[in-house]
Chains A and B, each alone.
Chain A
């Protein structure tokens, strides 16, 4: 990563947008999934840090759309549209969805794979192609996307770094 670039940070259950020369980053993805939607020609990218697969799981009246795969990806597409991006020019890269612990309560233990499935289903529904992905496994990930090169840089503790 070049030092001259400023980094837009995305927290957990959060989303944001970056434009060249910015990069966008979220850290410590475990069972959560980082979804990057980008437009290569406009050099703009949005990132959502998805925590749960489905907004139906929300038991509160007040909903944080960025928390769920279905509402988060849709809201990000709308945010990008508001910036002049045309939905059909969008592509996606995704990372995360690990299984951090070997046992736990039944539903929760598979939350990583369920998040990945839900993210893929929503991207398919919105006709946004997934260019590359690094999902599953049992390692946490920190990811950073550069809208200029459209490269997603992935760092893990146990499984090294890679670019997709």
Chain B
């Protein structure tokens, strides 16, 4: 399916369902890892422009911790975790057991960088294995890579494949929410799945909605 084929509301609904299944698994894994409740939900699956995609991730110039990995196998695409610096700091503190950890540049993160990459591994692994079970497709993630920079600079890298086909991208947006002291949830970041356009057809046909 290329940009000339019609993507209907039903297609987007199917992707949302897939996203929710993946997110539920990933949230469980993350909750176990961090020892407190993490919720993940898919508020939107949309066809958006690249500039709108940056807005979804917090705005072009917002500074975030971005964990990027590629999906390979029967379907290909890009995955991103975009965490606010505050949440990234908090996750690292929990993961490495050092409450004094202070966030800095990637080169100086040391153990913190490894912790975030491990977080990426666990999230993507649980998400993709759910997706793989559901679609019967063979899917696996590459090793995650980390960058701390502006949203535009980080997320545009994941749009390179898509941009060869189109000026719009199907975004499976996932909010990562964590429960605070009084049971109030706050937004810790976003998780994005961007299938490469040639994979749209693969996903839809595996689910019988082509």
Contact = CB atoms under 8 A, between A and B. Distances in A.
Interface in A10-33: 11-14, 27-32
Interface stretch (A39-47, A53-61, A80-88, A118-126): A53-61
Nearest to A64: B167
A96 B176 CA distance: 31
Contacts, number: 110
A147 B156 CA distance: 27
B165 A104 contact: no
B4 A103 contact: no
B155 to A, nearest CB: 8
A62 B142 CA distance: 32
Q: How large is the interface on B (under 10, 10 to 19, 20 to 34, 35 or more residues)?
A: 35 or more
A13 B152 CA distance: 12
A104 B156 CA distance: 13
A14 B49 CA distance: 12
Contact of B165 (A51, A60, A141, A142): A60
A142 B156 contact: no
Interface string B117-147: 0000000000000000000000000110111
Contact residues of A: prevailing secondary structure:
loop
Given A28-B61, A59-B2, A157-B148, A13 B153 contact: no
Given A60-B166, A104-B68, A30 B156 contact: yes
Contacts of A12: 50-51, 54, 152, 156, 159
B149 interface: yes
A11 B60 CA distance: 10
A149 interface: no
18 contacts: A12-B50, A13-B167, A28-B153, A30-B152, A30-B153, A31-B156, A51-B163, A60-B2, A67-B167, A98-B153, A101-B147, A103-B142, A103-B143, A108-B160, A108-B161, A140-B153, A140-B154, A157-B150
Interface of B: 2-4, 49-51, 54, 60-61, 63, 68, 70, 105-106, 142-143, 145-154, 156-157, 159-161, 163-167
